Amino acid sequence: MIGDRYEAVDDPACYPGSDVLINIPDLKDAGELEQFEVEHVGMRSVEGPPEGNYDTAHYRALHRYLFQDVYEWAGEYRTIRTSKGGNLFCLPEFISSQMEALFKGLQSPPFLAGSDPDDFIVVAAEFLGDVNHIHPFREGNGRTQLIFLRMLGLRAEHPFRPESVEPEAFLRAMIESFHGHLDALVDELERMRLRSLSGLRYASIIGLVMLALRRGHYIECKHNLKRMLAWK
Ligand SMILES: Nc1ncnc2c1ncn2[C@@H]1O[C@H](COP(=O)(O)OP(=O)(O)OP(=O)(O)O)[C@@H](O)[C@H]1O
């Protein structure tokens, strides 16, 4: 059984006898780690993501950048098998090759500027489903996916409104995509579309606030909001 094989207590990335990932501030309490993560990843998010070529190195650099204060292994592919809700993600031995194959597709239309917005939404949903299926990192896949999606939208000039993410519906759509059904995810991305580039910064800021709120850390969120509003 999947659950038996991936007991968190057997994970060398966790503190012995617990499911808390070994982390830079050495926090052994899951709640404290989560708070620290939200605050620091939130702050990194608003500093601006690293530049790159939208290849696997760029994606890893983004994860490294976001989680650099939290995990030594930030930006590195996972080496153990992981699953969520019984859905087993890509086996670690295939992550690198699967990522290379997936990201090659980002260098051509409809991922590039000038594409039809409807075509872009469909390939963006496919990409999101595929990168989630691979789930390259031990932790932080969801946040990296969403920030990279925003970057892809900006590059293609079909930006998204991150503030309109509806967590439950989005999660359901992601799980459906895991089973090969993309319609719900296309609908979610369609709803998140920003019709014009004006107000994009505001939309991005609110999106980050929503991501933080969703994780239930209102105080950190308020703290981050102050920084976000100072963001030029
Ligand atoms: N049962 C599932 N099957 C497939 N994908 C799932 C399932 N549950 C969650 N996911 C997806 O996994 C990703 C979350 O992965 P991970 O926990 O590594 O990221 P995170 O950034 O730490 O968490 P979150 O996205 O919750 O903030 C999200 O894209 C989510 O949609």
pLDDT in tens, 73-86: 999 999 999 999 99
Interface confidence, given as ipTM, is 0.96
Q: What is the reported pLDDT for 105? A: 96
For the cut 90, the answer to whether the pLDDT of residue 227 exceeds it is no
Nearest Cα residue to atom 20 of ligand 1:
140
Q: What does the H/E/C string look like for 88-123?
A: ECCCHHHHHHHHHHHHHHHHCCCCCCCCCHHHHHHH
For the cut 70, the answer to whether the pLDDT of residue 214 exceeds it is no
Cβ atoms of 192 and 146 within 8 Å: the answer is no
User: Whole-prediction pTM value?
Assistant: 0.85
Mean pLDDT for all residues in the chain: 85
Q: Ligand 1: distance of its center to the CA of 142 in Å?
A: 5
For the cut 90, the answer to whether the pLDDT of residue 232 exceeds it is no
**Nearest C-alpha neighbor of 73 from the set 135, 128, 23, 131:** 23
**Nearest C-alpha neighbor of 184 from the set 132, 109, 136, 121:** 121
Instruction: Give the pocket of ligand 1 (CB within 6 Å).
Output: 84-85, 87, 132, 139-143, 145, 171, 174-175, 178
pLDDT tens profile 181-211: 999 999 999 999 876 555 555 555 555 655 5
Q: Check residue 22 and report its DSSP letter.
A: P
Residues 6+ apart with CB under 8 A from 157: 113, 114, 197
Query: Which atom of ligand 1 lies at the shortest distance from residue 87's CA?
Result: 3
Q: What is the reported pLDDT for 77? A: 97
Query: Which atom of ligand 1 lies at the shortest distance from residue 132's CA?
Result: 29
Q: What is the reported pLDDT for 210? A: 58
Provide the 3-class DSSP secondary structure of residue 83. Answer: strand
User: Which of 171, 178, 185 has most ligand 1 atoms within 8 Å of its beta carbon, as the pocket-test mutant?
Assistant: 171
Predicted confidence band of residue 9 (pLDDT cuts 50, 70, 90): very low
Q: What is the reported pLDDT for 209? A: 57
pLDDT tens profile 124-160: 999 999 999 999 999 999 999 999 998 999 999 999 8
